[in-house]
Structure 1
Amino acid sequence: MHLPHYVNTFGAAMQQKYGQKVHKLTINAAFTCPNRDGVKGVGGCTFCNNSTFNPNGRKPPGVLEQLDAGKGVILKRTGARRYLAYFQAYTNTYAAIEELRALYDEALTHPDVIGLSVGTRPDCVPDRVLDLLCEYRDRGLEVWLELGLQSASDQTLARVNRGHGWAEYEEATRRARQRGLSVCTHLIVGMPGEGRRDSLHSLARVLEVGTDGLKLHPLHVVKGTQLAREWRRGDYQPLEFDDYVDTAVAMVQQTPADIIYHRLTGTASKELLLAPDWCSQKWAVLNAIHDRLHYASISRAKGAA
C-alpha cells in the first residue's frame, strides 16, 4: 500500500518539504474544555471520552517527558527523527496566553521538535492566540492550527451538544488563514442523523471557506459517553465499514490535490471501544481506502484510453 500515490498525505508532504520523515508526537497538557467546565456546558460532546484520543492517561507527565516517550515509539516504528509537538487532548488554546506560551515554548525546547500542531475548538481561538502562533511561524517553525469542526450542519452540532456552530468555525478559519496560518479541519463521518451526502456537504462548505489540511474520523462509540447510552438504547446506529470507506474515498476524490490529509481514519483502544468493531482496525481501513482509490484510478485510465 502506498497512499501518497492517490492522497496528499501529511507524511508525504513533510517528507517533500523537509527531506526526511516528520511525525506528530501527541501531548496531553491537562487542558479542559468550555463545553465541560460550565462556560458552554458541563456534559461535553455526546461522543467525547478524551481517553480515546489521548494515549497518556488522565494524569499526564511533563511535556518533555511525553515527547521523549513518544519519540521512542515513533523512532522504532517509522524511523522519523523530526517531530511536531501535537497538543491534542481537549482544547489546547483554552488558557491564559502566558500559560499557552510557556507550554508551547517548553515543547519547542526539545532538540528534535521542529514545530507545533495545536488542536482546539473554533470558538477558542481569539486573536491573541493566533498572534502567538504566528510568532512561532515567523521563526521558521512548522505550525498547524487544528480546528475540530466535525460537521458543517448546525443541527448536527446541536444534536451532539457541540457548543458551537458553523459560524464560529468559518470566522476562526478566515482570521487564521488571513494571517497565513495553516489550518487543518477535523470532520467526523457518521455523525448522528448524517449519511454520505451530509459528509460531502460538510466537505464542500469547508473547501469553499478554505483550508490547508483535513483530518477524517469515523464516529465510534466509546465507554463513558452519552453516545454510548444512545447506542445501547438503539437510538444511534454506527457506520458500516464499507460505508465509511466509500465516504472517505468520495471525500478524497472531491478534495483539491494541494490540501493535505493529516488522517484518513481514527481508532479507539479495545478497552474503550464499544462499536463499531472495525474502528480498532486502522490498517484494514487504510488498505481498503487505498485499494478503492487504486481501482478508481485504473478505471479512469481505461476510460481515457
Structure 2
Amino acid sequence: MGLDKYVNTFGVACKKQFGEKLKKLTIDAKFTCPNRDGTLGKGGCTYCNVASFSYEHGTELSIADQLKQGRERVAGRTSKYIAYFQAYTSTYDEYLVLKAKYDEAIRDSDIVGLCVGTRPDCVSDEVIELLVSYQKQGIEVWLELGLQSANDKTLKKINRGHSFDDYLDTVSRARAKGLKVCTHLIMGLPGESHQDYLNSLQSILNAGVDGLKLHPLHIVEGSTMAKAWKSDRIKLLTLEEYAYSVGELIRFTPKDIIFHRVTAYAKKPMLLAPDWCAHKWDGLVAIVNDLKAKGGQGSYLN
C-alpha cells in the first residue's frame, strides 16, 4: 500500500518498539455511555451506532474469549497484541470494575499493550492513575479520546455532551502523568469545512498529543444522523475530498506524532453512505496517491 513511506503509522512505531507490527484486538466490555444512559442525555452522538465498527458488539463472550477470537481472526500476522477497549465509553464505570476488566485483558503474556477508548469528560484522576500503573508494569498504554472536532458549536450540534475545554483538561492531566494520548477527529461533520479540520488539528497540536485517528463521517443505520441523511439534509464528503483533507492534515502534523488510523470503513447493510466507506482499500489508495504527489507527514513544517 505504501502509507508507511509517508506517514509515521502505528504499525511503524510498534515495529521500532517491539520488533514487529502489533494487532489491536477489539473488546466489547459491556460499557455504556453517559450520553446514552441519561446522565448527560439519551440517544448518544448523532452519528453513532457502535455496531458499525465493533466486531464484538452485542457478544456474550468474556473478555478472554473475545481476545481468543481476535487472535484467530489475525492468526499468523503477529505474535504480540494490544487489547483495545473500543465500544462506547471504556472508562465509565466503578474503579474496581474497570480494574477487573483491564486486568483480564492483559493477563496473557502476548498482550503487550492496552488501548482504552473513551470520552474526554469521563477520565477521572483515579482512572489516569490506574492506567499509569499498567504502564509501570511495562504495558504499552494508550488513552484514546473521541474528540471529533475542536469546535464547540459542532460538538453541540452532534450531541457530544462535552466541550473542547473538557478535552484540554483531560489531555493536560493524562500527559502530565506520562500517559500517551491518541485523539480522534471526524471529517465531514455537518457545517464543517476543510478549514475547520485544519483548525481542529492545530488546536489539538497546541494542547499536546501523541497520536491521531482520522475518520470520514459515514452514515450508519440506527443513528440519529441517518434520519437527516434519508431526508437529504446532509452532504457527505466524496472520496477525493476526504483524501485531499487527510493529506493536508498529515502534511501539517509533526513527524513524531503517530497516526493510528487515517480512514475508516463500515459494512453494508449497516453502512448507508457514502458507498466508498464500504471499501477499506479505496480510501487508503486515494490518500497514498495524494501523499505521493504532494508530500508526506510534516512536509509543510520543514
Structure 1 residue runs of 5 or longer lacking an equivalent are none
Distance 1:64 1:110 in 2: 9
Q: CA deviation at 1:60?
A: 3.5
Q: Percent identity?
A: 49
Aligned to 1:19: 19
- The CA RMSD over aligned residues, in Å, is 1.2
Q: TM-score, normalised by structure 1?
A: 0.95
Distance 1:297 1:271 in 2: 36
Asked if residue 9 in structure 1 is aligned to residue 13 in structure 2, the reply is: no
Aligned to 2:185: 187
Contact 1:145 1:183 in 2 (8 A): yes
| AA in 1 matched with 2:165 | A
1:169 aligned counterpart, secondary structure: helix
Q: CA deviation at 1:199?
A: 0.7
Aligned to 1:147: 145
Distance 2:142 2:158 in 1: 26
Aligned to 1:288: 286
2:75 aligned counterpart, secondary structure: helix
2:173 maps to which of 172, 175, 180: 175
Deviating beyond 3 angstroms after TM superposition, the runs of 4 or more aligned structure 1 residues are: none
Contact 1:27 1:89 in 2 (8 A): yes
Q: TM-score, normalised by structure 2?
A: 0.96
Instruction: Report the number of matched residues.
Output: 297
Q: CA deviation at 1:3?
A: 1.0
| AA in 2 matched with 1:214 | L
Q: CA deviation at 1:237?
A: 1.1
Contact 1:29 1:60 in 2 (8 A): no
Q: CA deviation at 1:74?
A: 1.4
| AA in 1 matched with 2:70 | G
Distance 2:60 2:108 in 1: 18
Q: CA deviation at 1:111?
A: 2.7
1:75 aligned counterpart, secondary structure: coil
| AA in 2 matched with 1:144 | W
Distance 2:6 2:225 in 1: 34
1:249 aligned counterpart, secondary structure: helix
Aligned to 2:38: 38
Q: Superposed, which structure 2 residues align to 1:107-126 within 5 Å?
A: 107-126=105-124
Aligned to 2:48: 48
Contact 2:25 2:84 in 1 (8 A): yes
Contact 2:239 2:286 in 1 (8 A): no
Q: Superposed, which structure 2 residues align to 1:134-283 within 5 Å?
A: 134-283=132-281
Distance 1:111 1:291 in 2: 39
Q: CA deviation at 1:53?
A: 1.7
| AA in 2 matched with 1:56 | E
2:126 maps to which of 125, 128, 134: 128
Provide, for residues 113-156 of structure 1, a one-character-per-residue CA deviation record: whole Å limited to 9, x for no partner: 01200000000000000000000001111000000000000000
1:239 aligned counterpart, secondary structure: coil
Distance 1:236 1:60 in 2: 35
1:258 aligned counterpart, secondary structure: coil
Distance 1:21 1:13 in 2: 8
